[in-house]
Amino acid sequence: MVAPLSGITIVESTAVNAPVAVAIAAGFCAKLAKGLGADIYLSPDLAPRSGWPVALRAFLDAGKAVADDQSPYASVDATITDAATADGLLLPSGSITIALSTTASCAQNMPQSEFTLAARTGVLDMVGDPDRAPLMLPGHQPAYAAGLAAFTGLAAALFRRGVQPRYSDRIDANIEDALLWLNWKSVLCESWGVETPTRKGRLTEWPILRCADGWAALVFRDVDWPALKLLLGDARLDDPRFETREARQANRGELFDIAEQALAHFDRAELMQRSLELRLPIGPVIEPQDLPGDLQYALRGAFEKFSLSDGTVYAAPRLPAFSDYPVSSAAKFGDVA
Amino acid sequence: MTRGALSGIRVLDLGIITAGAATSAMLADLGADVIKIESPTYADPFRQWAGSSGDSPFFQATNRNKRGLGLDLKIAGARELFLDLVAKTDIVVENFRRGVLEGLGLDYGALSARNPGIILASISSQGNVGPLANYVSFGTTLEAMSGMAALGGYADGPPAASGHDMNYPDQVVALFAAGMITSALVHRQQSGQGAHLDISQRELTSFLCGDLFAAGMTRETRYREAEDGIHAIQASFALRDGSWLAVSVPAQSHSALTQFLQDHNVRDLPQLFGAADTAEAMVSLRAMGIAVEPVVTGDVAAAHARASGSQAIMAGPDGFPVKGLAFNLTGLPQSIERSAPAIGQDTKDILREVLQLDQDAIMHLADQKIIWIKE
């Protein structure tokens, strides 16, 4: 079977002085292409990754090669780089350039990180307690979101080149826009005359509460209320204080306290089984180390073995790609010098 | 859309709410002809979100750039009409509950029998197959079950999710799915083969934490922005007015910061930001290469976006504020050219154009209630 981007050659090249967030976005964009069969070459001029966590380098760079004199540089289909470097590139016929940056335009000279961009775009305000420091989504979601956006542009340009052989183009993606796009509901609310949401801690619409052996996200819609009462089995929930959506909103804290007392009688496996039976969207919180053994993930082959240069083997999620295409396995980090 | 990287591509959009509908909208932005299929008996639930009267702003913001076909897939004869459209279509996008498409007789086998080159993108919470394929899930459910929630939260608090107001897995899957669908188009150009894409939002959410899995991170050792392995200091600091300031100090700026604090007789950053002129401190820090941004709400973020010329939020052709673009192509720029369609708004035009049906044939279908025409 052929992977969809098999035969495509891409050079990944972010400048030494490019922001780290941009280098990570570029690395993730290239990783997606690699996962779909493209050959990825890291430019010798690539900003060094020496200060990065080993696991991040391994996750992003597995299977990529370092470009050298024998690399097929002359037949590169696309270059993934930072916007400043892209500005200086000439576009030969049929080549595609992905240009990544932190922000759209006028704020580009200000230093930015994924964390500060999350603050600027309202994303950081969305999680945590209102009277405490806000919480960042774990990992590199801002850079990865820009990498995803850039990849879609790359794929579209590759398709266009198949229709129009001499087509060249530059695709611009930036982390600020990717975050604004993801946070669109919050960003657009005021313009619609709707109250702008902000973090509410435990009083959020769907809190994460303790259960017998860990935690569970109490996710439910109004239509789920009868089934949720059945699951929780606490007569206090029949009180008119919880009868309507408005009443439940007004008494949210007390509702969640009662729910948490009821959830103390369920472990996560039981909760999952009962939720499946009752068609409730409750989410048992599953820890990363337990996911490779999760039945749904195991049957679907959602994880693959992953080696670091010191020989440590981890299970990491594979690219959730097509059912018709083979999974591209994560090569050892030693493939990249 | 008159011109775009995907001009000439046709999409039948069975997507609803966010994941499916937003994916199709991205394809429309790239120039594809996206035909949103609904009927008066089954409309996109996003039209009525949060008890709105008329089409909700969430629906309008998501479904711009599409045409509207009124087609009731549950009516006898509708299946055949849909398959006639499939024969002239490149992509079908759906995010129904698992089993719905099969129940309608429109699974991938049926579609590919009519059009071997069809690309069916099935976007689901838990995946198309598996023991939890029918597990009802929303964004927070998936953050909980993917490992992401476990890797977040305060040191003394519960796991954390982006929650109902952001629903991160629902939003990010559109960015991913659009790229996978377009990659399938690239492969079809070379091979002539269609594909059935089985896109699980839960798996994607895990994949997006892949480096943390590779680090062997657990709930005990969970993610801390202060310890990302890249920045010397990264945290939010409280200001005297109760607001917060996000600060990222790269390793190479740490000694300059230390000197700055000494020079200003300040012990540390919390003390610095407790002082009178935070704005002046921000200027100095930025000059040292330190990133500083106030933590703002979405409405303030919108003001920043408008000031910086961001395309991530835009005005539709009727001036209504809608989702914009997450990226753009210089040579074939994307644009918002249509407002979100009413149900059946373009039924006649679509059936004439795609299937060459004449007026009598169209009215016959309408009389049978297979199609719906908005007058």
Decide if A187 and B298 are in contact by the 8 Å CB cutoff: yes
Q: Find the mean pLDDT for residues B3-11.
A: 96
Contacts of A182 in chain B (CB under 8 A): 166, 168, 171-172, 175
- For residue B203, give every residue at least 6 positions away whose Cβ sits within 8 Å of its Cβ, in sequence order, or none: A297, A300, A302, A317, A320, B127, B146
Prediction pTM value: 0.96
Contact indicator for A100, A80 with CB cutoff of 8 Å: yes
Model pLDDT, residue A321: 72
Decide if B238 and A159 are in contact by the 8 Å CB cutoff: no
Decide if A133 and B244 are in contact by the 8 Å CB cutoff: yes
Position B190 confidence tier, pLDDT thresholds 50, 70, 90: very high
Interface check for B308 against chain A (CB to CB < 8 A): the answer is yes
- For residue B55, give every residue at least 6 positions away whose Cβ sits within 8 Å of its Cβ, in sequence order, or none: B47, B340, B342
User: In chain A, positions 87-126, which contact chain B (CB-CB < 8 Å)?
Assistant: 103-107, 110-113, 115-126
Dump pLDDT digits (tens) for B16-58: 999 999 999 999 999 999 999 999 888 999 998 766 678 999 9
Residue in chain B closest to A216 (alpha carbons) equals B144
Position A330 confidence tier, pLDDT thresholds 50, 70, 90: very low
Query: Which pair of tokens denotes residue A226?
Result: 């009868």
Looking at residue A190, what DSSP letter applies?
A: G
Provide the shortest C-alpha distance from residue B132 to chain A (in Å): 6
Decide if A156 and B146 are in contact by the 8 Å CB cutoff: no
Residue in chain A closest to B220 (alpha carbons) equals A287
pLDDT above 70: residue A71: no
B170 catalytically annotated = yes
Q: Find the mean pLDDT for residues B222-244.
A: 91
Chain-centroid distance of CA B19 in Å reads 6
Contact indicator for B347, B338 with CB cutoff of 8 Å: no
Model pLDDT, residue B95: 95
User: In chain B, positions 97-136, which contact chain A (CB-CB < 8 Å)?
Assistant: 126-136
Determine the Cα–Cα distance for residues A53 and A236; give it in Å rounded to an integer.
Answer: 50
Dump pLDDT digits (tens) for A81-130: 999 999 988 767 778 999 999 998 755 679 999 999 999 999 999 999 99
Contacts of B308 in chain A (CB under 8 A): 103-107, 176
Q: Find the mean pLDDT for residues B77-106.
A: 96
User: In chain A, positions 222-281, which contact chain B (CB-CB < 8 Å)?
Assistant: 272, 275-276, 279-281
Decide if A286 and B214 are in contact by the 8 Å CB cutoff: no
Dump pLDDT digits (tens) for B122-170: 999 999 999 999 999 999 999 999 999 999 999 999 999 999 999 999 9
Dump pLDDT digits (tens) for B312-350: 999 999 999 999 999 999 999 999 999 999 999 999 999
Decide if A206 and B163 are in contact by the 8 Å CB cutoff: yes
